[in-house]
Structure 1
Amino acid sequence: MIKKTLFCGVLMMASMVGYAHTEAQDDIALQMYTLRNVGDVDTQFAMARKAGFSQVELVGDHHLDLPTMQKMLKKYQLNVIASHVQLSDLESDREKIVAFNKGIGNSHLVVPWIEANERPTTKQGWIDYAMRLDRMGETLRNEGMSLSYHNHNFEMKKYDDMTALDLIMKYTHQNNLSLELDVAWAARGGQDPGSIITRYSGRIYAIHAKDNAAIGIRDDEMNFTPAGEGLLEWRSIINAGRRSGVEWYIVEHDAPKDPWAIITTSRHNLKEMLQKQP
């Protein structure tokens, strides 16, 4: 009887481990920026849900007030896992932004971009910018929120022996800032995405999952293509992601001609690749 009970317990634990692994493979979200040119916000959320997404990353508040956004998310049964917000907006209007995001059940904010005229051009400039991120991350953490930084290619520029991204990560505390790594942009900056993930193991909140096409392919879409259909080595990216504790793989495309085809293909490819990797 005791042996039978122990055996059943082992089986139950094994099934729970297997279940957890399956669930982890479904950690795929959609960055709503991809659908910005698809009708109104209602139409965009409807498309996201129809494509099979239940997790989304917002771009600010999408020009909706809190009650309307709450209603919209409930209508399409969408959960917000993060929202893109400019650092300058956080510095000038943090309380309002935090209240809005807490109101929709989101606790994670991401700084997505630095305007060209505000972008640091020196090593010290990047250190100063990192310290701004660190201060904001600490403030948000004390308010029950967390902060990430999303890269493009310009953060891959080296200053002495360190990239701007390395400077950001070095001069911020791991409790105050994590990284939302856009692997396609990182590769365009001449860096290996898998190596970045490994280097900052434990600090990668999410991966923006899109691929780079060769010149001559999708030239009218900034040469971006769904994950798994381009030049990136996804086996190493996913393996590094698993080891590093990446929480989300977020489908995104900067300039999709056919958003429906992009998001459905991307989700399908990602799901298959995540399931294949141990």
Structure 2
Amino acid sequence: MTHRRDFVKQVGLLAAVSCVRPELLLAAPTPYKAGLQLYTLRDYIGQDAKGVLAKVAKAGYQEVETFGYSPEKHFWGMKPTEFKAVLAGNGLTTPSGHYDLGNFLRSGDKAQLMATIEAAKACGQQYVIVPYLDEKLRATVADCRTLAAKFNKAGARCKSAGLRLGYHNHDFEFKPLEGTTVYDVLLKETDPALVDFEMDIYWVVRAGQDPIKLIKDHPKRFPLWHVKDMDKANRELNTEVGNGSIDYRNIMTYAGTAGLKHPVMEQENFAGDAFQSITQSASYMRKNLLTISKKA
């Protein structure tokens, strides 16, 4: 039986620990799942999608992010429900997909948006990601404000369907534009309740920006990241995660501030075998990045 004096000592010790190392009082870290953007394997997946997905699972990934969906070809010839079943058979899920919403952003074509929402829901995704913006749509700040308004409308549609809308950056979003940038306008003009951002950390760094500063300035707006490393010798090339110049171990300590839910590895070019490279990246992520506590 615990005496009152011992109880008081224990409370005092816990109080001291909470002041010095509050993270020690948190529950054990909940691991993130290793995700892969399938664009990484674009040269292979069209030839044998089912075989590639099996190799992705064997390489150590638990989640995949899609690209290139069309109502005609679906996901590499598989309808959304079939695609979901193939993923499940390999122990995979797909939380997000990159979808072309160009028609909607140009003309307000709701048919394209609704078809996208239907496909995303059918394969079990939670995020519809806009992967790119045509140059003509972002020529001026006024254009960018118009885009942000359309993002809000699409985000509301997604939200009503149980989904989230997100935007994935490259480096052009950080170029000066009438005293601001495309990215600043989108962040400020979109409603956080409706629009999220998938931060491609490689492109942020290549643009000369600091991903940690972006996270601090806009907390909880980045539930998805592209974990893509930069070759040490040539900034225009990718390399395996942990083998490049981006300090992901440090950046990952801000995962809670960012609101991160899904770290997604992507590698757009390879010096050697692509499947060996993605396996190496998955191993590094599991050992060094994915067990960071999800504290706020």
Aligned position for 2:134: 115
Aligned position for 1:27: 33
Matching residue within 267, 270, 286 for 1:271: 286
The 5 Å alignment of 1:160-239 reads 160-216=178-234, 222-239=236-253
Matching residue within 137, 140, 159 for 1:141: 159
Between structure 1 and structure 2, the one with the greater Rg is 2
- Cα drift, residue 275 of structure 1: 5.8
Change (3 A) 1:54 1:273: same
Instruction: Report the 3-state secondary structure (helix = DSSP H, G, I; strand = E; otherwise coil) of the residue aligned with 1:100.
Output: helix
Aligned position for 2:93: 79
Instruction: Report the 3-state secondary structure (helix = DSSP H, G, I; strand = E; otherwise coil) of the residue aligned with 2:66.
Output: strand
The 5 Å alignment of 1:230-249 reads 230-249=244-263
- Cα drift, residue 194 of structure 1: 1.3
Query: TM-score with structure 2 length normalisation?
Result: 0.80
Structure 1 letter corresponding to 2:27: V
Change (3 A) 1:127 1:236: farther
Change (3 A) 1:164 1:77: same
Aligned position for 2:43: 37
CA distance in 1 between partners of 2:291 and 2:81 (Å): 41
Aligned position for 2:20: none
Structure 2 letter corresponding to 1:62: F
**8 Å contact kept, 2:223–2:258:** no
**8 Å contact kept, 1:235–1:277:** no
Aligned position for 2:75: 62
CA distance in 2 between partners of 1:263 and 1:146 (Å): 27
- Cα drift, residue 195 of structure 1: 1.0
**8 Å contact kept, 1:55–1:80:** yes
Instruction: Report the 3-state secondary structure (helix = DSSP H, G, I; strand = E; otherwise coil) of the residue aligned with 1:149.
Output: strand
- Cα drift, residue 249 of structure 1: 1.1
Q: How many residues matched?
A: 262
Aligned position for 1:156: 174
**8 Å contact kept, 1:36–1:44:** no
Runs of 4+ more than 3 Å apart: 89-92, 214-217, 275-278
Consecutive unaligned residues in structure 1, runs of 5 or more: none
Identity %: 24
Instruction: Report the 3-state secondary structure (helix = DSSP H, G, I; strand = E; otherwise coil) of the residue aligned with 1:37.
Output: helix
Consecutive unaligned residues in structure 2, runs of 5 or more: 15-23
- Cα drift, residue 240 of structure 1: 1.9
Instruction: Report the 3-state secondary structure (helix = DSSP H, G, I; strand = E; otherwise coil) of the residue aligned with 1:162.
Output: coil
